[in-house]
Amino acid sequence: MKKLLCTLAAAALLTGCASGQTSASSEDHLARIKKAGKITVGLEGDWQPFSFHNDSDQLVGFDVEVAQNIAKIIGVEADIIEAPWDGLFAGETAGTYDMVVNGVDVTEERSKTYDFTDPYAYDHTVLVVKTGNTDIKGFEDLKGKTTANSIGSTYMEIGESYGADVKGVDTLAETMTMVLNSQVDATINAATSVQDYLLTTGETGVTIAAQMDEATSYAIPLVKGADNDSLRKAINDALTQMRNDGTLKQLSEKYFGADLTAK
């Protein structure tokens, strides 16, 4: 038995050394992406104006074009996959997506698991209530109230932090409908998305009750580890090029009606 264990241990050591050598000499994530000729991007596809389908059912939006431009600068195609928000991070961790470009807020908690690129846009968080609601004038009034937000989103966490009972849903439109129908008292979301919703729908039944002073930074999360170091640098270089040549500003003005790329 001892001989067998020693033999197995020796084999394990040899295998470990071999694995280490293979790992050391293997291509990193960026090299694999370039070899494949494409970068797989995860995003929602139903969060206007970040990503949505236009009247011709084409996938468009700020994040869609940001991802496509990053891919072009890196020298590959952007293979975009639409998925619910609450599955994007798990998909990236599992390797389904090379990166997630979905207006992701940079938070301390997320930074424990993911390494973020440089921010590529800034936004503010707003609180939306049914028009005529006088009980909620600010975030501090959410204690004991109900809100609706995307499952696992920063906005869901904000509602909970203020003492609200948060109902998890999939889309911004659903949250607005729940507020309009008095199923919940409020919803929290990005100012850009809410303003776009109000503009495109002409809805007057909901209104912005409050806005946070601190800006939200949007960046691209990548799984932590040396495997993504060169990919993160390549994305940052691409974002810098897009900022310097005016591409980011043009895309922001195209989809938001304002330049949100400068803090």
Contact criterion met (CB below 8 Å) for 251 and 65:
yes
The pLDDT value given to residue 263: 76
Does 17 score more than 70 pLDDT?
no
Contact criterion met (CB below 8 Å) for 142 and 154:
no
Report pTM: 0.80
Going by pLDDT thresholds of 50, 70 and 90, the confidence category of residue 66 is very high
Helix orientation angle between 247-256 and 229-244, rounded to the nearest 10 degrees: 80
Handedness of CA 262, 152, 177, 125 (dihedral sign): negative
Residues facing residue 246 across a β-bridge: none
Give dist(CA 226, CA 111) in Å, integer: 15
Lookup: tokens for 189: 């979301």
pLDDT by residue (tens digit) across 87-132?
999 999 999 999 999 999 999 999 999 999 999 999 999 999 999 9
The pLDDT value given to residue 157: 93
**Beta strands 216-219 and 121-123, pairing class:** antiparallel
Count of C-beta atoms within a 10 Å radius of residue 241 = 14
Average confidence (pLDDT) over 175-202: 95
Contact criterion met (CB below 8 Å) for 248 and 142:
no
**Cα-based angle 50, 54, 60 (whole degrees, multiple of 5):** 40
Does 16 score more than 90 pLDDT?
no
The pLDDT value given to residue 24: 47
The pLDDT value given to residue 170: 87
Domain with CATH 3.40.190.10 in the chain: 29-122+217-256, 125-211
The pLDDT value given to residue 11: 40
Give dist(CA 91, CA 86) in Å, integer: 9
Contact criterion met (CB below 8 Å) for 83 and 192:
no
Average confidence (pLDDT) over 214-227: 96
The pLDDT value given to residue 158: 95
Average confidence (pLDDT) over 198-217: 94
Does 258 score more than 50 pLDDT?
yes
The pLDDT value given to residue 25: 53
Going by pLDDT thresholds of 50, 70 and 90, the confidence category of residue 6 is very low
Residues facing residue 80 across a β-bridge: 41
Residues facing residue 116 across a β-bridge: 221
Give dist(CA 247, CA 70) in Å, integer: 11
Does 2 score more than 90 pLDDT?
no
What is the dotted CATH code of the domain comprising 29-122+217-256?
3.40.190.10
Please check whether the domain covering 125-211 is classified as CATH 3.40.190.10. yes
14 three-class SS: helix
Q: One-letter amino acid identity for 184? A: V
pLDDT by residue (tens digit) across 144-156?
999 999 888 999 9
Give dist(CA 8, CA 12) in Å, integer: 6
Does 3 score more than 80 pLDDT?
no
% of the chain with per-residue pLDDT over 70? 90
